[in-house]
Every structure is written in C-alpha cells, then in structure tokens.
Amino acid sequence: MKYGILDYYKKPEEIEWVPDKYWKIGFEYFIRLTVDAAVLDENKICLVKRKEAPFKGSWHLPGGFVRKGENLMEAVKRKAKEETGLEVEVKNPIGVYELYDPRGHIVTIVWRCRPKAGKLKESARYFERDNLPVNIEFQHEKIIKDVYDG
C-alpha cells in the first residue's frame, strides 16, 4: 500500500474544525473518515476501553475522526496520544476498512504503530493475541486478525 501527503490548498492551521451544528449532519448524509492505531509492543496490541456511547465499556483500537486539514499520520499520532497517553511512531498502513456503527457509515485507515514515549492511561491496556477481551467493538476483532496475519 502506498501513502503520500499531497500539498494542501490551505495550510492545515488555517482550516477550522467543523462547528458542532454540522457534526450530526455529517453523520446523517456523508461517509466519515477515521484512523485507528494498531500499537504493538513485543507482539502485544494496545486496546482502549470506551468511555462513551456507542459501545461504552467495550474495547477498541485507539482512533477516531480525522479533522479537516489534518494529515492522516498526524491524526493517528493525535488519537493515539489522546486515548492511550502514548506518543507513537507511525510505521505503515495495514488496510482500509468500511464499517457501519450506530452513528453512520465510516471508512477507517488502520496504521501499524510502535510506542515511543509516555505512560499508558488507565483506560488503555496491552493484550496478547491469544488473550483478547471478548467485548471488542467497531468490528476491530477482524482488523486485529489482519494486524497479526497480514
């Protein structure tokens, strides 16, 4: 899989985040883009316990929505830091996945990452491949299989 950053028409810092009044409209009418981080340390994968709906209390890969003007690698780093407390080195894309969650139609790009620094948050934990939690949501169990098998 090839990846490159193309030039922006505007600098990312000049582009504002989506106002709240348009957030729900985006889910209702458009596909949303997310990124997920497959953070691997000694063949263990980092998962985060979800704090809010949908799927509150379930486990998932750290990730979330790409902001307008934000490049994909920066989005992965931001979401990994926000959700796990770790600074990560983004290695390579694992794949592109189309999924549907209760909020709408989502396309996510999953990136292989390595932890660089930071302290793991209480809501994040490393799991061995053969000892994953049973309550993994957002269809991430299929993605995790690809992380290890592919």
Domain assignment of residue 19, yes or no: no
Domain assignment of residue 58, yes or no: yes
Q: Are 24 and 14 in contact (CB under 8 A)?
A: no
- Total-model pTM: 0.84
- Cα separation of 147 and 150, whole Å? 6
Here the CATH number for the domain that contains residue 75 is 3.90.79.10
Q: Are 88 and 63 in contact (CB under 8 A)?
A: no
pLDDT recorded at residue 101: 74
Name the residue range of residue 132's domain.
31-149
Question: Tell me: the pLDDT tens digits for 31-84?
Answer: 889 999 999 999 999 999 998 888 899 999 999 999 888 899 999 999 999 999
Give the chain's domain count.
1
Give 39-105 as a DSSP string: EEETTEEEEEE--SSSSTT-EE-SEEEPPTT--HHHHHHHHHHHHHSEEEEEEEEEEEEEEEETTEE
Domain assignment of residue 81, yes or no: yes
